[in-house]
């Protein structure tokens, strides 16, 4: 990620935090309600950069020369798969999974490929990862789950995919917000409807 992209990301984060501070309905960044962030630097590891930029042919060539790079973690504990998931590189994600990349690995702050894809709104990558048996309810350092990050980003298709694969609606982040509470606080009304419909489907069998 270059400086301009990082500044843009920080700007969006600042806008989110400003909104939350004004409403006083959510805790602020200092109290732990911080979204999983995209990796900041390539750390000089070409394999991670290639994955992030979607350079599939070059990535394949590197792995053919040294297969040990497949699950190599950078200084933040992020793997090539995590970098590809972060930047929405579906072809790279599928290629790495086919090569045997471990989708269950976690970063230093408990980042996962699924959490990063959910934060970015990449439903196709979410579905690929779920087909490879990742934990839909994995959590990061502040209790954020893929569902919570999808709700935070107002990524409706991602929320639907996660719910369809067993995402837990009752899980709360360390700041005390469940998926529904977060959707309400942020004013994501379409997300609220998706969550409400899912809850109704869950309760219908019990009412018969």
Domain edges within the chain:
1-7+36-134, 145-208
**What is d(CA 205, CA 110) in angstroms, rounded to the nearest whole number?**
35
Q: Does residue 138 have a pLDDT over 70?
A: yes
Mean pLDDT value across the chain: 83
Residues 60-110 pLDDT 10s? 999 999 999 999 999 999 999 999 999 999 999 999 999 999 999 999 999
Greater model confidence, 15 or 74: 74
Using DSSP, state whether 178 is helix, strand or coil.
Answer: coil
Q: Does residue 18 have a pLDDT over 50?
A: no
Burial of 11 (0-12, 13-18, 19+ CB in 10 A): exposed
Instruction: Assign domain 145-208 one CATH number from 1.20.140.10, 3.40.50.1100, 1.25.40.20, 1.10.10.370.
Output: 1.25.40.20
Pseudo-torsion of CA 112, 131, 137, 141, nearest 10°? 0
Distances, alpha carbon 198 to alpha carbons 60, 162, 171, 205, in Å: 41, 11, 15, 12
Residues 140-170 pLDDT 10s? 988 899 999 999 999 999 999 999 999 999 9
- pLDDT at position 24 is 35
**What is d(CA 35, CA 189) in angstroms, rounded to the nearest whole number?**
20
Assess whether the region 1-7+36-134 and the region 145-208 belong to the same CATH fold.
Answer: yes
Lowest mean pLDDT among 41-55, 60-74, 179-193: 41-55
- pLDDT at position 204 is 76
Closest CA to 68 of 98, 113, 28, 101: 101
Q: Does residue 16 have a pLDDT over 90?
A: no
Q: Which CATH architecture has domain 1-7+36-134?
A: Alpha Horseshoe (1.25)
Q: What are phi and psi of 112, to 5 degrees?
A: -135, 160
């Amino acid at each position: 990620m270059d400086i301009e992209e990082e500044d843009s990301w920080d700007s969006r984060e600042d806008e989110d935090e400003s909104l939350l501070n004004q409403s006083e309905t959510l805790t602020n960044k200092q109290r732990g309600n911080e979204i999983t962030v995209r990796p900041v630097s390539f750390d000089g590891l070409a394999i991670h950069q290639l994955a992030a930029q979607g350079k599939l042919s070059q990535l394949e060539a590197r792995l053919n020369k040294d297969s040990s790079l497949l699950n190599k973690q950078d200084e933040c504990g992020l793997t090539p798969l995590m970098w590809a998931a972060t930047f929405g590189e579906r072809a790279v994600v599928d290629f790495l999974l086919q090569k045997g990349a471990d989708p269950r690995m976690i970063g230093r702050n408990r980042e996962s490929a699924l959490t990063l894809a959910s934060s970015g709104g990449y439903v196709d990558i979410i579905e690929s990862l779920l087909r490879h048996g990742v934990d839909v309810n994995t959590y990061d350092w502040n209790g954020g789950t893929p569902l919570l990050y999808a709700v935070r980003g107002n990524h409706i298709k991602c929320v639907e995919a996660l719910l369809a694969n067993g995402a837990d609606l009752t899980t709360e982040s360390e700041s005390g917000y469940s998926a529904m509470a977060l959707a309400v606080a942020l004013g994501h009304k379409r997300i609220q409807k998706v969550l409400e419909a899912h809850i109704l489907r869950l309760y219908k069998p019990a009412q018969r």
